[in-house]
Amino acid sequence: MDTPAWFDDLPVLGEFSRKEAIAALKDAGDDETVTILEVAAALDPSQYGSSSSFGDHTSPRTDRTSTWWPFSDKPWQYTSHTYGYLASSTKSGQAVLPIRPLSTVHANPKLRNTRVKITLNRLYVEAYPGRKGDTHLILVHFFARDQLSKKTGDMYFNIACEAANCSYASIHNYPIFVGLNVGSEGLVFGGFTINVKNEADTTFLKFLQSDVFKTGLELTKAAQPVLAPFLTMAKAIAEVIVTRNQKRLVQKAVLGLDFRNTPLGAPLAEGTYVAVQVPGSRQTALNWEEWVYHKGRDKIVKHDNHEKTIPFNHFIFSIDSL
């Protein structure tokens, strides 16, 4: 990974300054949360009221802070991710599948120097900024490269979908990259969600939901000169929309999947991965033994209460060999 990706220094909502957060939340129509922030600033200007304490949209990433918020219970506010793994079911009729921490997964060396298919299985919105009852229009931007990036370069793909709070998006088992080259060292894979409110962008993203854009990026047949303009367009769409929508990047999850079986690594294996947006304090504390994937409900639910869905924004993707 010798070159930075365009999104490396782009903050998620939870990393915004007070000034940035108020502007983004106003743009999203989340007046209730804006009021909370403005009241907190009025009551304690030393902590919440001085914009010079936090920087603005031109501030370098190192000046940003997520500690000033007067609340910590908004799922879109969290800045970390934790990851789980579901192996393919081996038992016929098994209704509930356990979710394992990545530290217990073994990499599959047979995937080295092969091609794989990456599929977006589900996208769940626990809560995004907006008015109560809003249906959110979401741009999901995907990025991938093999870990020796000089060979293949960066891959980008976009999906537009809709979801209300506490529901799954209107998308299921969607191919993202078909025939992605793994290389000898593994993959870097990232998923990003942008909460779109700008009317012009909303109209444009409706176009992205048309049939012409509803197929994955097939890499096995596309020649690189033909593929390059498509990748440039996918990257440019995400850059423009995230800028025009007050940089309302909600989720930013990037995994370096490789063939090392190390305690803190992310092994590359066939199966299904879960990327869950959590507070930093829960990044390593989320106990996957408490949660299972219920096939009948098509949800991640509490192990001892299948009516309770995991209360965090998350997306689920799978990796399969070709």
Q: Where are the domains of the chain?
A: 79-321
With bands split at pLDDT 50, 70 and 90, how would you rate the model's confidence at 212? very low
Q: pLDDT digit string (tens) for 217-262?
A: 777 665 454 466 667 777 777 777 777 655 688 999 999 999 998 8
CB atoms within 10 A of CB 44: 11
Listed in sequence order, the residues at least 6 apart from 166 whose beta carbon sits closer than 8 Å to its beta carbon are 125, 126, 127, 309
Q: How far apart are CA 18 and CA 65, in angstroms?
A: 9
Rounded Cα–Cα distance for residues 278 and 284 (Å):
10
Return the pLDDT at 27: 85
pLDDT of residue 234: 76
CA dihedral 30, 32, 37, 38 (to 10 degrees): 110
Cα–Cα distance list, 42 to 13, 251, 285 (Å): 22, 30, 35
User: What per-residue confidence (pLDDT) applies to 245?
Assistant: 58
**Identity of residue 170:** S
Poorest-confidence range of 148-157, 212-221, 253-262? 212-221
How far is Cα 153 from Cα 148, in angstroms, rounded to an integer?
Answer: 9
pLDDT tens by residue, 101-127: 998 999 999 999 999 999 999 999 999
Residue 189 has pLDDT above 70, yes or no: yes
Average pLDDT over residues 275-302: 85
- Give me the residue label for tokens 């593994």: 186
Q: What is the pLDDT of residue 208?
A: 61
